[in-house]
Amino acid sequence: MSTSISGFSKLTKTEKIDWIVSNYLSNSTTAKDTITQYFNSNQKLQQLHDEFIENTISNYYLPLGVAPNFVINGKTYAIPMAIEESSVVAAASKAAKFWMERGGFKTTVISTTKIGQVHFMYSGEEKMLQAFFNTVKPKLIADTKSITANMEKRGGGILDIELRTKTNDLDNYYQIHATFETLDAMGANFINSCLEQFAKTFKAEAEIQLDNDIDIVMSILSNYVPECLVRAEVSCKIEALADKGIDPETFANKFAQAVTIAEVEPYRAVTHNKGIMNGIDAVVLATGNDFRAVEAGVHAYASKNGKYTSLTHAKIEDGIFSFWIEIPLALGTVGGLTSLHPLVKVALNILGNPTAKELMQIVAVAGLAQNFAALRSLTTTGIQEGHMKMHLMNILNQFDATKTEKENIINHFKTNTVTHSAVVSQIEKLRQ
The domains of the chain, with CATH numbers, are: 8-50 (no CATH), 114-221 (3.30.70.420), 232-381 (3.90.770.10), 387-431 (no CATH)
pLDDT digits (tens, 9 = 90+) for 124-170: 999 999 999 999 999 999 999 999 999 999 999 999 999 999 999 99
Distance, CA of 386 to CA of 406 (rounded, Å): 18
Average pLDDT over residues 38-53: 94
67 beta partners: 79
Residue 21, H or E segment: helix 13-24
Largest distance between two CA atoms of the chain: 87
What pLDDT does 109 receive? 98
Can you give the pLDDT at residue 389?
A: 57
pLDDT on residue 382 = 62
Return the closest-CA partner of residue 299 out of 378, 369, 225: 225
pLDDT of 199 above 80: yes
Dihedral sign for Cα 206, 208, 209, 212, please: positive
What pairs with residue 221 in β-bridges? 116
Q: Residue 355 belongs to what H/E stretch?
A: none
Mean pLDDT score, 48-56: 95
Classify 403 as helix, strand or coil.
Answer: helix
Active site residues: 85, 274, 290, 387
Each as own residue / partner, the long-range contacts of residues 163-171 (CB below 8 Å, 24 or more positions apart, any chain) are 163/129, 163/130, 163/133, 165/126, 167/126
How many CB atoms are closer than 10 A to CB 40?
13
DSSP string covering 57-89:
-------EEEEEEEEETTEEEEEEEE--STTHH
DSSP secondary structure code for residue 246 in this structure: B
List, for residues 303-360, the tens digit of each pLDDT value.
999 999 999 999 999 999 999 999 999 999 998 888 899 999 999 999 999 999 999 9
For residues 344 and 338, give the distance between their C-alpha atoms in angstroms, rounded to a whole number. 6
Confidence tier at 419 by pLDDT (50, 70, 90): confident
Percent of the chain with pLDDT over 70: 97
**pLDDT of 122 over the 80 cut:** yes
* Tens-digit pLDDT profile for residues 224-264: 999 999 999 999 999 999 877 789 999 999 999 999 999 99
Confidence of residue 383 (pLDDT cuts 50, 70, 90): low
The mean-pLDDT minimum among 80-89, 177-186, 290-299, 398-407 falls in 398-407
Q: Using the 8-state DSSP alphabet, how is residue 6 labeled?
A: S
Average pLDDT over residues 86-114: 96
Residue type, 340: L
> Mean pLDDT in the chain?
93
pLDDT band at 385 (very low <50, low <70, confident <90, very high): low
Report whether pLDDT(207) > 70.
yes
Query: Between 126-142 and 188-209, two packed helices, what is the crossing angle to 10 degrees?
Result: 130
